[in-house]
Structure formats: structure tokens, C-alpha cells
Structure 1
Amino acid sequence: MKIGISTAALQWFKDEVELKNGDKVRFYVKIYGNSPVQEGFSLAFTVDNEPIDIAVKTEIEGLTFFIEGADLWFFNGHDLFVDFNAKIDELEFNYTLSE
């Protein structure tokens, strides 16, 4: 599994969340909403500088984006790509089957 972050999403995290060098963003499962990979569950994020069990991560410009091992089931064999949609002013989570 891989995590991809678009340039626009990276800039959004820097501007809106005010991330600084060394910060870590954890993507985690929440029990509300729907996603293309799990009905009744959706994805959220938090700044978490004390990870417990990083299963997947990507590091960009001094920032770490990761998923804990306990949340891997959610992705059901898919990679995560995070983008920013300027038209609706929100992050978008896109899922593609892992190679």
C-alpha cells in the first residue's frame, strides 16, 4: 500500500493545518459516512506526533503522512491519494487498487 499527496493537498496542510517541519499526519478510520472502499466508514486525519505502529508512510518536505497498522483493513487492498479540490475547498481522498 502507498500514500500519495498532491502538491495542492500538501500546500493545504501547510496553510490550513499550519504544519511545520517534523509534524506527522495520521489518516484514520471513522465510523460515520461512506467511502468507495468501505460502506459505513470514512477517512479522517489528525496531527499525531506520537505514532504507535506506522504501517505505511510517505515523507514530503519534512512532513510525514501515515496510517497505523490497526487501520489498514479499511483500505481493502487500495492505495490512498490525497488531493485538494479548490472548487469545493476540501481535501479529497481517492483510492486505487494496489499493484
Structure 2
Amino acid sequence: MNIVVEQPAASWYKSEMGLSDGDHVRIFVRLGGCGSVHPGLSLGITKETPQKLGLSHTVDGVTFYMEEDNLWYLDNKELRISFNEKFEEIVMRVQ
């Protein structure tokens, strides 16, 4: 199980969310949306300090993480977060 945040995605988040080096971005399971792993659920993002860090990846000075209690969503797979330049949007894939 792993989280990979590609550099262009990290840069986009830093710009859009006003993030600075040392900040933490929590990836959490939320009800609704278009999640590909579990119907009716998707992933959300918020700037928040970790409580019970499960997985993390630090890129461009920002730590992206999931709490222990949300790891079930990944089902022992990898979460890859990238930026689609053509559509100027974030893409989250569990593979």
C-alpha cells in the first residue's frame, strides 16, 4: 500500500490551497462523488495536521497523508495523484 503524489500535482495543490513547506494535506474517504474503488464513496482533500498517520508521501515540502482509519479504502493498492494538464485537473487513481 502506498501514496504517490506526482510533482505537478503537488505544485497545483500548493498554488490552489496556498500551502507552504511543512504543511500537511489529509486525503480522506467521503460519501458521494465518483470513486472507482468503492461505489458511492470518493476521496477528499483538506489541510490538516495528522492524528494517526497511516501512509504519507512528502513532495515539494508538503506531506500528503491518509489516517490509519481510512486505509481500508485503498484495499492494499497504491493511490497515485497526478495533474492532467490538458483539462487542468487533479486525477486520483487507485491501482
In the TM superposition, residue 16 of structure 1 has moved relative to its aligned partner by 1.0
Q: What runs of 5+ residues in structure 1 fail to find an aligned partner?
A: none
Q: Distance in 2 between matches of 1:33 and 1:3?
A: 20
Partner of 1:29: 29
Partner of 2:57: 58
The offset of 1:62, in angstroms, is 1.9
How big is each residue's C-alpha offset from its partner over 1:41-93, in whole Å with a ceiling of 9 and x where there is no partner?
00010000x21100001112321110001111111121100011122221110
Q: C-alpha distance in 2, partners of 1:93/1:15?
A: 18
Provide the C-alpha distance between the structure 2 equivalents of 1:92 and 1:15, rounded to a whole number of angstroms: 16
The gaps in structure 2 that reach 5 residues or longer are: none
After the TM superposition, which residues 56-95 of structure 1 pair with which residues of structure 2 at under 5 Å, given as runs? 56-95=55-94
How far apart in 1 are the matches of 2:23 and 2:4? 17
Moved over 3 A (4+): none
Instruction: Give the TM-score of the pair, scaled to structure 2.
Output: 0.92
Instruction: Give the letter for the 2:51 counterpart.
Output: I
Number of residue pairs matched? 95
1:10 corresponds to: 10
**Aligned mates of 1:62, 1:87 — CA distance in 2:** 25
1:47 matches 2:47: yes
CA distance in 2, matches of 1:8, 1:39: 28
Q: What is the CA–CA distance in structure 2 between the aligned matches of 1:20 and 1:92, rounded to whole Å?
A: 22
The sequence identity of aligned pairs, in percent, is 32
TM-score (normalised: structure 1): 0.89
